[in-house]
Structure 1
Amino acid sequence: MDRIKNLVVGSGPASIATVKALQDIGQEVEVIDVSYDLEHHIKHQVHTLSQKHVDSWKDEEKKRIFPPPKVSSSGVERRYIFGSDFPYRTPEHFQVNTTNCNTEFSHGFGGLGNVWGAAILPYSERQLRNWPLSLSELAPSYKNVLRFMPISAEPDNLQTKFPLFSENFETLKRNPATDFILQKLTNVEDNLRGNGIEFGRARLAVDASSGKRGCRYCGHCLYGCAYQSIFNPKTLFEDLQKDGLTIHQGFVVLELKENKEGVEVIAVSIDDGKVYNFFAEKVFLAAGHFATTTIVARSLNLLNTPIEIQSSQYFFFPFLTYKRHHYEIEFTLAEIFLEIENANISPEQIHLQLYGRSQIIEDQVAALLPSFISKDLALDRLYIIQGFLSSEDSDTLELTLTNKRPDSSTVEIKGIENPRARWVIARTQSLIRRSLIKLGLVPPFYLKVLPPGKSYHSGGSFPMKGEHETFSSDLLGRPANFKNVHIVDSANFPNIAGSTIAYTIMANADRIVRSIKFS
């Protein structure tokens, strides 16, 4: 097999940022990935729907393409795309056993970019204080990412700590409830700021323009975007494939071996079960932190060695308004961000996202409410707040490679509880209640804390400039004993901030590529 100049492992957000950066600087690049994909008959149905105006969609089409996910009082069990579970399918060559956690990772084409909530914020200077680089060093890469990823945003108070990094953006329209809540918050913003709370319109990787991929406000954002308005790496990769990018699909990368000639990539085909060897001058690991951690652990022969993975604790609680707001469901991603820095709760930042009405929330309300309370009465007043803690305040995960066969790997992942997480979350909800109740905005006492791993915001198994010689990587994401292997996903993060994660993953991948001295 011919030697590849630069080989990127994976097809999610980290991978597309790596590929785009390599192409920008004139480097040859190929991709290797499992790439489970949407079923052909569903692709055809989605394409047919995308050629129509929203108003002409038939009810039977919508029911077929946008089946709701399973929802309970514990939240969304799993969110599919157009009713397909392809983002979550796991090849038999990568076996995972879990304890006390709820992990999700993807071998789908586009990774978890197929089902993410599209919320994007850069890390603030404070959130980067334990990193071996500053916000100013990441800033050019945040800007580079916005050259291929759309952003919907509004200029607001969040800009002070979370720069927009672009003057070329458009904004999704507000619904009446969002307007009402933002106005209420604006009326008391000085008091909120005194409690360490800043707020603003949610920033989303969504095309808000009137162009071909602009949002059409169909109201099915959480089930799949037929118009491709929500940023998805898969869409860009499909475009790049048409332009000639080689993607070796159907391969699980198991292990890497480096010598003077370059890097040998050992992979198994999910089609015939045979092991294949690829050879590259440089390899970029963008497989997602679980898969990347497994590949590095196997390559370093860390068998039966527990590896800590940092995680952002995820929680949610309902949010009520005294005033009813009945409106058509046109958009269902996050509407408002609230950022909390309050030393009485934590030295770390806490990130909250407020969601308005959607079928998911309506189903969740039905699971939460006692039978004697009218569902319809509650729905026009109820919203959901999702929260994320920093890894310092959160439960952790532990991954152990327990078996490394010639054609497969087995890992065990377990959750390790941090009692501080529940303490911080309870006081966060209490602060929100005290701050907003006089405004007619009431967070009830119900609170749900999800198991570690459920936030999707995890990483840090081989942190840049980490203290341990083996369990660390350098500023270029290179783990121990490797000179031409670069971790470019969150497995190299020094910590996981209580914030969105994909934007910073992509920016850091871009930074690493542009910092390398290629021969």
Structure 2
Amino acid sequence: MNYVVGSGPAGVSCARALLDQRLPVTMLDAGLTLEQERHQKLVQLAAAPHQDWTAENLEFLRKDMQSSASGIPLKLVYGSDYPYRTPRNATPVEFESADASASYALGGLSNVWGSAVMPYHQRDMEKWPVSSASLEDGYRAVLRFMPLSAAQDDLSAEFPLYSSHCHDMKLSRQAAQMMSRLQEHRHRLQQAGISFGKARIAVAPLGLEGPGCIYCGLCMYGCPHQLIYSSSRAVEEMKRNDLFVYRPGVIVRSVTEAGNGVRISAATSSGEELAFHASRVYLAGGLYSTTTILLRSMERYDEPVPFCDSQYFLLPLLRARGAGDVSQENLHTLAQLFLEIYDPSTSPHTIHCQLYTYNDLFRAPIEQTLGPLRPLFPMEPFLGRLLLIQGYLHSDHSASMQAVLSRTASGDVLRVRGAPSPETRATLKRLIAKMFGLSRATGSVPLPPLLKMGAPGRGFHSGGTFPMSAQPTSAQTDIYGRPAGFRRIHAVDSTVFPSIAATTITLTAMANAYRIGSLAPQYS
């Protein structure tokens, strides 16, 4: 029996690859889910015509979501923080000068992600022992079960869609204006190393029961019709396969190879000790959980291991021309456009920018900044001109992190510490200067005083504690995600990434997990 640990995007992709080969799979998962009371409210909301939704109906979604000039401190889903909760008997993670979270939820952090998907380019994978071409089958396989809203456009030349089943979502008025301006100056932007197009987002065209997108503007709180993809949906689909077994309520602690198999030591949140015997184990618990399991299994306590991270930043843009009544527009509030910047004078790697237009979380930070001047400020016209870039840099230009698994009187703790990189500000300074130089082409100017750089880990695009290598050392894994000395234990999530590209991590994590699972017959 093959065991997959974790139900996040990498876990379901690896499980799919094994099932596609008619190999049996048992998935072990802590499997925390949305509180029943909130779930019932969500069901009732989705069943009602959206014209009948009231502020009272929506209060459970919006009540505890906050925003500031630094972004959203904690992105909830349907008003709940369940994706971030640590169950009893799970190893706590402590962060110092870093900001991230492990997830023990069914579907992992795909319950709260922004659903942006983009493949890695070969130029951003110089440190990898496998090529971008080796991930292509994985990209295609993933996009057969994960929905994609995207368009065949200029981005496709360097970042293929890998799917012929895309659907198209309507741009907001602000995004349509921006797109028109970019297209008008397309040649100038191409010369400057900028390609652009519609955002690629993992959003379904239709709900499980009900309509497709109704452009209600609630995306950041959790889609009422559950159109934003979560890998929990893949788990429900796999349950219909006779070769698949899902075991929730299980927290894996360590794995040990013995003979031709693997012993899995685990526990329930109530304290019951469990053991499973597998032919192979695929660890997909997410970066922090997989790292913890491997360090404990290898008895590597108090030994630092490095992380790499893709620097997350927020940069507002102010358009010369605004759109009217944006607060009244029916729109989706996920990323609207992508800009991919490749200019060696700025960075030898791709810089990825996701462009967001109005959502109601924009207001609070502006009001906080204005203070007593708020009544005098022309808020609505300003919101019609305001855009937000959520950007990422390659890990070569980003802060690093370091993790140590320690024994304490109350149990093991994974301690993660971040360390800034001088490359980050220098790269962003070059990027902002470039954007000022292109302000006529884009019809917008950046607002550098409002630039916000996330702490290490804040963008949740991190990995590399046990990076893949063609000739792995004791601190690395082979191209199948096996740490040195192991034959039947595979790490399949971003734990094995040798570097982190700027272009969104989830799709490549899924493709690489599928690649490893699909190569099962070839393992030596």
TM norm structure 1: 0.95
Shift in Å, 1:458:
0.3
Alignment partners' CA distance in 2, 1:207 and 1:198: 25
Separation of aligned partners in 2, 1:517 and 1:339? 37
Q: 1:143 aligns with which of 140, 144, 150?
A: 140
**Does the 8 Å contact 1:324/1:381 carry over to 2?**
yes
Match of 2:488 among 469, 484, 496: 484
Q: CA deviation at 1:439?
A: 4.8
Contact 2:129 2:470 in 1 (8 A): no
User: What SS does the corresponding residue of 1:80 show, helix, strand or coil?
Assistant: coil
Write the distance in 1 (CA, Å) between the matches of 2:241 and 2:49. Answer: 29
1:337, 1:354 within 8 Å by CA — same for their partners in 2? yes
**Deviation string, structure 1 residues 23-71 (Cα, Å, up to 9, x no partner):** 1110111111111110011111111112223222232111223435121
The superposition leaves residues 356-408 of structure 1 with CA deviations (integer Å, 9 ceiling, x where unpaired) of 11122222332334543332232111111011011111000100001288x95
Show the 5 A alignment for 1:2-401. Answer: 5-67=1-63, 69-93=65-89, 94-208=91-205, 212=210, 214-241=212-239, 245-271=244-270, 273-325=271-323, 326-327=325-326, 328-369=329-370, 371-372=372-373, 373-401=377-405
Q: Quick one: distance in 2 between partners of 1:300 and 1:269?
A: 22
Distance 1:243 1:8 in 2: 15
Q: Which runs of 4+ in 1 moved over 6 A?
A: none
Q: Is the 8 A contact 1:466 1:472 kept in 2?
A: no
Is 1:396–1:416's contact at 8 Å kept on the other side of the alignment? Answer: yes
- Measured in 1, the distance between the counterparts of 2:353 and 2:121 equals 15
Aligned-partner Cα distance in 2 for 1:345–1:308: 26
- The alignment covers a number of residue pairs equal to 513
CA distance in 1, matches of 2:7, 2:48: 29
**Partners of 1:44 and 1:155 in 2: how far apart?**
39
Aligned equivalent of 1:402: 406
Could you tell which deviates more after superposition, 296-305 or 186-195?
186-195
The one-letter code of the counterpart of 2:356 is Y
Contact persistence 2:178–2:442 (CA under 8 A): no
Q: Which secondary structure state, in structure 2, belongs to the residue aligned with residue 238 of structure 1?
A: helix
Q: How far did 1:242 drift? A: 5.6
Provide closer, same or farther for how the CA distance between residues 466 and 95 of structure 1 changes in structure 2, counting only shifts above 3 A. farther
Provide Cα deviations, 1:64-110, integer angstroms capped at 9, x if missing partner: 23435121122110010100110000124312222111122211111
- Name the counterpart of 1:422: 425
Distance 2:172 2:11 in 1: 34
Deviation of residue 329 (structure 1)? 4.3
- Return the alpha-carbon distance in structure 2 between the equivalents of residues 74 and 175 of structure 1: 24
Aligned-residue offset at 1:424: 0.6
CA contact (8 A) 1:153 1:203 kept: yes
Please state whether the residue corresponding to 1:118 is helix, strand or coil: coil
Distance 1:255 1:499 in 2: 32
1:265-284 per-residue CA deviation (whole Å, 9 max, x = no partner) reads: 1112112x132111111111
Deviation by residue 1:123-146 (Cα, 9 ceiling, x = unmatched): 112222332222222111111001
User: Which digits, 9 at most, give the CA deviation of each residue in 1:268-313, with x for residues without a partner?
Assistant: 2112x13211111111100001111111111111110000011001
* Change over 3 Å in CA distance of 1:266–1:408 after alignment to 2: farther
TM-score (ref. length: structure 2):
0.94
Deviates more, 1:107-116 or 1:378-387: 378-387
Secondary structure of the 1:246 match is strand
**Of residues 502, 507, 513 in structure 2, which corresponds to 1:503?**
507
**SS, match of residue 267 in structure 1:** strand
Question: Residue type of the partner of 1:395?
Answer: A
1:469 to 467, 470, 473: 473
Structure 1 203/438 Cα, relative in aligned 2: closer, same or farther at 3 Å?
Answer: closer
- Structure 1 unmatched runs, 5+: none
Rounded to whole Å, the distance in 2 between the matches of 1:458 and 1:274 is 32
Residue type of the alignment partner of 2:282: F
2:317 is paired with a residue of what secondary structure? strand
Aligned to 1:71, the other structure's residue is in SS state coil
8 Å CA contact retained: 2:174, 2:384: no
